[in-house]
Amino acid sequence: MSAPEPPVTLPGARLLFSLDPGVSYLNHGSFGAVPIGVQRAQQRLRDEIESNPLRFFAQGLSDRVIHTRRHIASFLGADPELSALVPNATTAVSLVLNSVRLESADEVLLTDHSYGAVAMAARRRCRRAGATVRTVALPMPATDAELISRVRAALRPGRTKLLIIDQLSSATAMAFPVREIVAAAHEHEIPVLVDAAHVPGMLPVDVASIRADFWVGNLHKWAFAPRGTALLSVAAGWRRKIEPLVVSWDQDQGYPHAVESQGTVDYTPWLAAPAGLFTLRTLGWEEVRAHNAALAAYGQRVVGEALEVPVAELPQPAGPDISMRIVPLPAGLATTAPEAQELRQHIADKLAVETAVNAWGGRGLLRLSAQVYNRADEYDRFAERLPQLLHDYRA
């Protein structure tokens, strides 16, 4: 079966970015790419700081952070008074783990799709508390009903003190029915942290309706914010239990101020984030989502065909808006994290193509992202050259 037609390129979109024209950047999902206008907005904030640092930090900074938080929370359908700006999703995960009481008989439940740094943070927290981390294996692909059933069966009421579930997984680009999973866990009064690192800017979301105890999403991946911008939202019952990882002058004000106020931390990514949302809206968010999802599907198909992966074995996302797609690599390639990193770097060095390569379930997975600066011919060229590169790499 031939690849679907690629979407029409959004006029002028590529000119909004300062990416190296000599590199095909097919990995927006890892670190994003900041539009030039947002870069300039952040630089103006840096210039403002250096013109009078005392004035910037001592006069009105808190109000500006609050205003920004409200703007971002509104975009995500979250309660701004129950939300806090944080540097990234992994920081939020550590905040949550630090705030959940764990004892020796307790456990934190993950899935085998969980992000590596999240799993590491859970293991460290449990090790210090004498608790355990348990991982439930979930198939790929799977129906929503299968995912809900398997997670529900893995819960251990009385022992499971926290469930961490992805809304859209990083390594496997799978969407999870988080609203239903949260409801299943709450039947046993088990709190849930939803790791939605890839959701803001890619998927429409109403955080409040998910009813998770904790929800965190990065703005720097798909919402065009500077790196270092994420939003943590907590349920009302947890507000007084969230303790910042570092104590600063606003500690006595409690969440969210105690979390956001961190002395001389760089606040410019947060304050420039609304410029990223403005860029997204100017391009037309629905148009951006449709373009990116269609282009990712095109890239998956042409690369999959080049690697002779049957169409039935190309994982399909659960929703129409997902801008990351997976192509399984030939057996024996990138089966461990170090091997995946080595292959990713080899592809970058030899083909001038930035991709994501992950090891999952004993199989190497190539993850392709699509953003408005990408073109169909980048995936075509990659598909033409990748088979020979992999053949030589294995030789």
Report pLDDT for 331: 94
304 in the same domain as 254: no
Q: What percent of the chain has pLDDT over 90?
A: 92
291 in the same domain as 248: no
Query: Does residue 227 sit within a domain?
Result: yes
Q: Provide the 10 A C-beta neighbour count for residue 237.
A: 9
Positions of E strands within the chain: 24-25, 83-86, 107-111, 132-136, 160-166, 192-195, 214-218, 230-234, 324-328, 353-354, 356-360, 363-369
Report pLDDT for 109: 98
Average pLDDT over residues 317-322: 84
Average pLDDT over residues 320-330: 95
Report pLDDT for 320: 82
192 in the same domain as 324: no
Q: What percent of the chain has pLDDT over 70?
A: 99
321 in the same domain as 270: no
333 in the same domain as 267: no
The domain that holds 248 is classified in CATH as: 3.40.640.10
pLDDT in tens, 268-300: 999 999 999 999 999 999 999 999 999 999 999
305 in the same domain as 253: no
204 in the same domain as 228: yes
298 in the same domain as 232: no
Report pLDDT for 1: 52
305 in the same domain as 264: no
pLDDT in tens, 203-214: 999 999 999 999
Domain count for the chain: 2
Report pLDDT for 317: 85
Residue 370: partners with Cβ closer than 8 Å, 6 or more residues away: 26, 28, 291, 292, 293, 295, 296, 299, 323, 324, 325
Q: Could you tell me the residue range of the domain that residue 293 belongs to? A: 13-33+284-394
Query: Does residue 2 sit within a domain?
Result: no
Query: Does residue 116 sit within a domain?
Result: yes
Q: pLDDT-derived band of residue 249, with 50, 70 and 90 as boundaries?
A: confident
Domain-ending residue, one of 257, 277, 297: 277
